[in-house]
A and B are shown apart, each in its own frame.
Chain A
Amino acid sequence: MFKKISLAAVTFAFSATTALAANNITWWHGMAGRNGEVINEVAQKFNASQSACALTPVSKGTYEEALASGIAAFRSGEQPNILQVFDAGAATIINAKGAVIPAEDLITKAGYSFDRGAFIDGVRYFYADSEGKFVGMPFNSSAPIMYINDEALKKAGVEAPKTWEEFEAIAPKLKEAGYIPLVQSQLTWQFTENFFSRNNIQFATNNNGYDSVVDTKLKVTDPNLQMMFEKLKTWKDEGYFAFYGAGWNDNQKVFEEGKAAFWVGSSGSFGGLQKTAKMPFSATFLPYWGSIKGAGTNSFIGGAALFAMSGKSDEENKCVADFFQFLTSPEIQYFYHKATGYVAITKAAYELAQKDGYYKEKPVAEVGIKQLLLPAGEWSKGYRLGFYPQIREIMEREYGRIFSGETTVKDAFETIEKEGNELLARFAKTAG
């Protein structure tokens, strides 16, 4: 089937450019549904904008499946030109020296100038090396933000909180008004990784893992993080917080139905939520702790980046560089931002959206970018940790146990740190 489609695409590309033989490049991604369609539209726009290159996007299923098939293809020499890799898989691909050509090198080699400063702050470091050189090209970027059920707040007569202390103060009123005060959809990304960045606390040794894989250790027994989860547990017992397991949608559903007052979701949820929410809603930043000194820094991006795989001809690499250049143009960024709800990654695109009056019409769409644009702190740029998808699985397991009462917060984080560090040590050996 896939062969047939790509064959059709190839024939089409050839017939469209009769004089020039186009260079065909492929792009494997992990997006489905509407977001997958938007990728096809972006590729069509690129193919229509020039004639030297023909880009074919191929959906490989989920993020995990895209990475797994990209790796398998690389090992058998059949890798695509561009592979989309999600945040938790960043260390896997960036530490595999020689698997990818850093995006920045690729673009400068193709004769374009590359300005790191053109990208908004929260986007700049996550897929870069420790010197700040872009290895992956940020593509679909999102921030964890807090959605607000406007009706609930009106009924309870309260304002949206900036800090968790403020939330704690208004939670009883929301409960009295008949709402679940708080739900969330991903404890790992929203209450762990971004807890460290919003509160400006170190996540792991070796500069959160950016400097080296050797001897990198998690610092999840941090007393502040434990305090956050002790609070969540207390809130759950008191009826201020509800937890429906590790599945994203099970938790989101309660908010969509208007039963919850606040939901911590993704800025990328905005597009879908507009269709599914049964009540008027707005959004604000992910809260931080006022009691933690230096807290309130920006969050880092979630989502995924595009990586140029190595082992391809110069002509094809030039095409990939052309495409990256095309992708970061303000018009395409703005189109993608509007079509999906993912944030614009360059300052120019953000300004274009502002000038166009998009945020006057849809203020929620701006919350994610604004949060990424908050002042950065020493520890707000994210992490670079090997075998991180598995470390997340350990966290999900232990967090589930905390809320089902099978373990204590303290024991849970000790287990995460111990098992996580074993995985990091294993990863250091593979990268050896």
Chain B
Amino acid sequence: MTAGTDLLPAPRGGTGTKTGRRRSSALRLFGTERSGETTVKRVQFSSPFLPYLFLAPQLAIIFVFFYWPSAQAIHSSFYLEDPFGFVSTFVGLSNYADVLKSTEYLGIARFTAIFTFLVTFFALSIGLLLAVKADGVIRGNAAYKTLLIWVYAIAPPVAGLMGMMFFDQHIGPIVKLAAWFGWDIKVGLDYFDTAFAMIVVSVWKQIPYNFIFFLSGLQGIPASVREAAALDCRSGLRRFWTVVLPLLAPTAFFLLIINVTYALFDTFGVIDVTVKDKAANNPITLVYKVYMDGFRGNDLGGSSAQSVILMIIVLLLTIFQFRFIERRVHYN
């Protein structure tokens, strides 16, 4: 029945080729040659329930680790509860009102937006720059690539710790370097210095990831296209903007989503290490605030309301990205 590689009924049209292309280009990076063409086959199941059976484990995991906790969070965001769960009072939307009224919370939201923008922007652009340059390297490119990818293997808290050593008030080399130029960096004390350190460390941590994907994307662009472009146009920069970048758009779009979620959520470890357990007057992001109120302050209702707000933000962001940005991306 199925001679192909895919067990699930493969969807027809664009999406099938899209995943096929990305996977093959990723494989090519690591030296495996595979035909770029994926043949699409329609797979028939003998029983209509069989596909659901195959899906069941995945659905069960999503239900247990996503839908169930989300439902719990939404439920408890309407209640005011003592930490031990003895008294639970329905308070309607007042948890949300308390959060949205707080100037502190709005300040954190503003910082989160700026932080996410800057981290995404710099991580993507530096990653792309390095990938383009690496793509051009002919001699010793394996060593060069390995060195760039290496950082990705470091766990976020370790990266945060290493990064913060560079910014340590007493022993940090970056602090000493900046002092030469008359900039007295005080991480943990000065709001902007701390924000600067957080952004630098978060960007540094994410560059290798972007680098890998951009590089594989670049290598996925057929040589014939590049050669044809080279015949038509002498300016390398212009060829990059008009030919290479549009062909990289699917990769860039995918990375944009990944980087935004990274900056919003996965930078938690970096922030935790930077503020050393004491947020004080340092900048923090919305996720860190949820943690502080929920896990350290034991205010379940308030932090549930905050996490529901975060869920809504992510939902809106996803809708926005797929409706307005993906339209401009063409996959062929």
User: Does B17 make an interface contact (CB < 8 A)?
Assistant: no
Segment among B3-11, B83-91, B126-134, B233-241 that sits at the interface with chain A: B83-91
Q: Which residue of B lies closest to A397 (CB)?
A: B281
B279 touches A393 (CB 8 A): yes
Number of interface residues, chain A, beta carbon within 8 A: 45
Asked if B190 is at the interface of the complex by the 8 Å CB criterion, the answer is yes
A residues 403-432 with Cβ under 8 Å of B?
Answer: 403-404, 406, 419, 422, 426, 429-432
**A389 at the binding interface (Cβ < 8 Å):** yes
Output the residue of B98, B170, B281, B299 with the most chain A CB within 10 A: B281
Query: With A68-B295, A245-B186 known to touch, is A430 a contact of B280 (CB < 8 Å)?
Result: no
Taking CB atoms, residues of chain A closer than 8 Å to B112 are: none
Dominant secondary structure at the A interface:
helix
**B292 at the A interface (CB under 8 A):** yes
Assess the A396–B280 pair: CB atoms within 8 A. yes
**Residue B189 at the A interface, CB < 8 A?**
yes
- CB within 8 Å of B: which A124-183 residues: none
With an 8 A cutoff between CB atoms, is A244 at the interface?
A: yes
Instruction: State how many angstroms separate the Cβ of B148 from the closest Cβ of chain A.
Output: 33
Of A3-11, A90-98, A297-305, A346-354, which stretch is located at the interface?
A90-98
Bound: A419/B297 CA distance, A: 14
Are B86 and A389 neighbours in the complex by a CB distance under 8 Å? no
Contacts of B186 in A (CB 8 A): 244-245
Whether A401 sits at the interface, judged by CB under 8 Å, is yes
Task: Collect the chain A residues with CB atoms within 8 Å of residue B169's CB.
Answer: 244-245, 250
Q: Is A228's beta carbon under 8 Å from chain B?
A: no
Q: Is the CB of B86 within 8 A of A99?
A: yes
**Of the residues A68, A393, A400, contact of B298 by C-beta under 8 Å:** A68
Q: A98-B86, A397-B280, A430-B82 are in contact. Are A243 and B297 (CB under 8 A)?
A: no
Q: Report A-chain residues with C-beta under 8 Å of the C-beta of B295.
A: 64-65, 68
Q: Given A387-B297, A400-B280, decide whether A245 and B188 contact each other with a Cβ distance below 8 A.
A: yes
Task: With A244-B188, A250-B170 as known contacts, state yes or no: A390 contacts B297, CB within 8 Å.
Answer: yes
B296 touches A68 (CB 8 A): yes
In the complex, the answer to whether A400 meets B299 with C-beta atoms within 8 Å is no
In the assembled complex, the CB of B174 is this many whole angstroms from the nearest CB of chain A, namely 16
Task: Please indicate which of the listed interface residues A243, A245, A403, A419 has the most CB atoms of chain B within 10 Å of its own CB.
Answer: A245
CA distance A400 to B296 in the complex (A): 20
Whether a CB of chain A sits under 8 angstroms from the CB of B278 is yes
Asked if A398 meets B292 with Cβ closer than 8 Å, knowing A250-B188, A389-B297, A431-B82, the reply is no
Bound CA span A71–B293, Å: 14
Residue of A nearest to B298 (CB): A92
Q: Which of B81, B191, B280 contacts A246 (CB 8 A)?
A: B280
| Interface residue? A62 (CB, 8 A) | yes
Give the chain B neighbours of A62 by CB distance below 8 A.
277
**Interface pair B84/A75, CB less than 8 Å apart:** yes
Within 8 A of B (CB), among A247-273: 247, 249-250, 253-254
Is there contact, CB below 8 Å, between A96 and B86?
yes
21 A-B contacts (beta carbon < 8 Å) = A65-B295, A96-B84, A96-B86, A97-B86, A98-B84, A244-B189, A245-B186, A245-B282, A250-B170, A389-B296, A389-B297, A389-B298, A390-B297, A393-B280, A393-B292, A396-B281, A397-B104, A399-B280, A400-B189, A400-B280, A432-B89
Using CB atoms and an 8 Å cutoff, list the residues of chain A in contact with chain B: 62, 64-65, 67-68, 71, 74-75, 89, 92-93, 95-99, 243-247, 249-250, 253-254, 387, 389-390, 393, 396-401, 403-404, 406, 419, 422, 426, 429-432
10 additional A-B residue pairs with CB within 8 Å, beyond A250-B276, A390-B299, A432-B87:
A68-B298, A96-B82, A96-B84, A244-B186, A245-B186, A246-B280, A250-B169, A399-B280, A400-B282, A404-B191
